[in-house]
């Protein structure tokens, strides 16, 4: 075990750079996923039968889009949308390029998380708001989202953790970050200590994000 961490100082700057690249990819793609995923999830919920803007056709279309997006393995998605990635950022290699497939993969995940969280709200609360004359937008902003906030925070936390795993996979095929370091310096150069160190850093990141997510969700959960 001592040998594994013996060269930690030698690779410290490399690991630090890889960690920052991973955080950059995860944070940027998570932000995009939240911006697009929350409205998609809200729209999917409120168009369900009996909800505030019931529309069965639209609901089935949105539900299908979310399911299809979640069904595509990330490695296949990365390859499939290379033309889109190049069109947006000008290249399909590097940390910035990896944000595109990461965000595309995370948007339907966030949308499903939002949909599930909103469906757990007591229908009586929604009916009470409707009986008081609240508009659909008011119900969304003042009832649905505030009531579901703890669940939404936990869902976004889970998304961030999944994105860490995806980012490592992206790094293995040219996306940069800790995954790239593990492959190029660990696997290809037979440096077991580098692979172990990248895994330890990834585990610590996951633990930190989960802890922070639980704390924030607990703060807003007044049940």
211 in any annotated domain? yes
pLDDT average, residue stretch 109-128: 92
Q: Is the model's pLDDT at 75 over the cut of 90? A: no
- Which pLDDT score is estimated for 169? 82
How sure is the predictor about 1, in pLDDT bands with cuts at 50, 70 and 90? very low
Average pLDDT, the chain: 87
103 in any annotated domain? yes
Count of the separate structural domains present in the chain: 1
pTM: 0.88
1 in any annotated domain? no
Digit-coded pLDDT (tens) for 24-65 = 999 999 999 999 999 999 999 999 998 989 999 999 999 999
Greater model confidence, 90 or 190: 90
- CATH code for the domain of 87: 1.10.3720.10
117 in any annotated domain? yes
Greater model confidence, 143 or 223: 143
169 in any annotated domain? yes
The total number of residues written for the chain in this structure: 223
192 in any annotated domain? yes
pLDDT average, residue stretch 63-87: 90
In which domain, by residue range, is 193 found?
12-220
- Which pLDDT score is estimated for 187? 65
pLDDT average, residue stretch 143-155: 93
Q: Is the model's pLDDT at 171 over the cut of 50? A: yes
4 in any annotated domain? no
210 in any annotated domain? yes
């Amino acid at each position: 075990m001592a040998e594994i961490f013996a060269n930690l100082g030698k690779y410290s700057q490399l690991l630090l750079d890889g960690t920052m690249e991973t955080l950059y990819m995860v944070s940027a793609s998570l932000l995009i996923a939240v911006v697009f995923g929350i409205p998609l999830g809200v729209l999917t919920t409120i168009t369900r039968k009996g909800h505030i803007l019931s529309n069965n056709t639209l609901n089935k279309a949105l539900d299908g889009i979310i399911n299809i997006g979640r069904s595509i393995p990330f490695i296949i998605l990365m390859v499939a949308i290379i033309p889109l990635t190049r069109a947006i950022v000008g290249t399909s290699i590097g940390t910035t390029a990896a944000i595109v497939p990461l965000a595309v993969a995370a948007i339907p995940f966030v949308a499903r998380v939002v949909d599930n969280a909103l469906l757990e709200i007591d229908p009586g609360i929604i009916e009470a708001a409707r009986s008081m004359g609240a508009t659909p937008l008011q119900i969304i902003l003042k009832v649905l989202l505030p009531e579901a906030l703890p669940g939404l925070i936990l869902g976004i936390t889970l998304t961030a953790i999944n994105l860490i795993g995806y980012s490592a996979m992206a790094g293995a095929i040219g996306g940069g970050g800790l995954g790239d370091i593990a492959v190029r310096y660990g696997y290809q150069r037979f440096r077991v200590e580098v692979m172990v160190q990248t895994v330890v850093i990834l585990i610590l990141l996951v633990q930190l994000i989960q802890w922070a997510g639980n704390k924030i969700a607990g703060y807003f959960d007044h049940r």
